[in-house]
Amino acid sequence: MTSLDKKTRGRTSHGRLRALDVYLVHQERELLVRSEGDWARAAFVDVGFGEHPWTTLDSAEAFRALHPGLPVVGVELEAPRVESAQAHADALTSFRQGGFDLPLVPGERVRLIRAMNLLRGYRPEDVPGIHQKLGEPLLKGGLLVEGSTDTSGAVLVAHLLRRVPEGLSREALLFHTDFSRGFAPVLFRDWLPRDFRRRVKPGEPIHTFFSDWTEAWQEAREAGYSEPPEAFRHSVLRLASRVEGLVTDVWLLDNGYLLWKPPGGVFR
């Protein structure tokens, strides 16, 4: 699979990916500000920006608060959307037609690629190849973020895939909720990345993860932590005693993020 050949509605609104922007600004600051060698002009590439480039522009603003000269490239399959987006182009921001074979110019370097809400219509078995294709232009240490959110951005689950010398490493899964829909672990199941959505069943590692998290959440509620933010925090702290690789950083928990970095990387 080498092209973004499935059309989508693409009606993304301002702020839908703000929680992801906040996470990246906080947790991937070094990636966003690197400026030595090839990193000096390395871009952020947003794949599949949709009918309007609002989320690309939101991210450009957020990331340029750290790195004012950051080049940003928005990529879309449909030519009319790309043409419409040109009204927002400037010296640092470009919009190009393309798909998973990113339309980069010779010598262009990439530090961060985002591909959110794109793969829900693809076959799970296609996902590893798409990841590899998308990640090819990344500099060593660069990051590919791929996953799904609900329409408002209140719930998010994403793969974090890092370019390492051996290739693309499935470094982590990132979960986020803003608690506007309450909280229970089941909230995330419909927004898992495409390769996991139909694997929450007995015998699968992702099923075991959700079973453990649900048990930890029930224990937290029984202990009196019934408000969604409290139930989330204490469920994650309990889950960390059952599951290796949970990052229990205070900032993450306070802001509704669960970062899971399984030893050896996220399973396929």
pLDDT tens figures, 52-105: 999 999 999 999 999 999 999 999 999 999 999 999 999 999 999 999 999 999
pLDDT of residue 94: 98
Nearest to 139 by CA among 45, 266, 64: 45
pTM, to two decimals: 0.94
Phi/psi of residue 114, each to 5°? -120, 130
Kindly give the pairing relationship between strand 167-177 and strand 257-260: antiparallel
Kindly give the pairing relationship between strand 43-47 and strand 72-76: parallel
Residue % of the chain over a pLDDT of 70 = 96
pLDDT of residue 6: 47
Tokens of 173: 């899964």
pLDDT of residue 83: 98
Which class for 39: exposed (0-12), middle (13-18), buried (19 or more C-beta within 10 A)? middle
Residues of the chain with pLDDT under 70: 1-12
Tokens of 203: 């015998």
pLDDT of residue 10: 56
Residue % of the chain over a pLDDT of 90 = 93
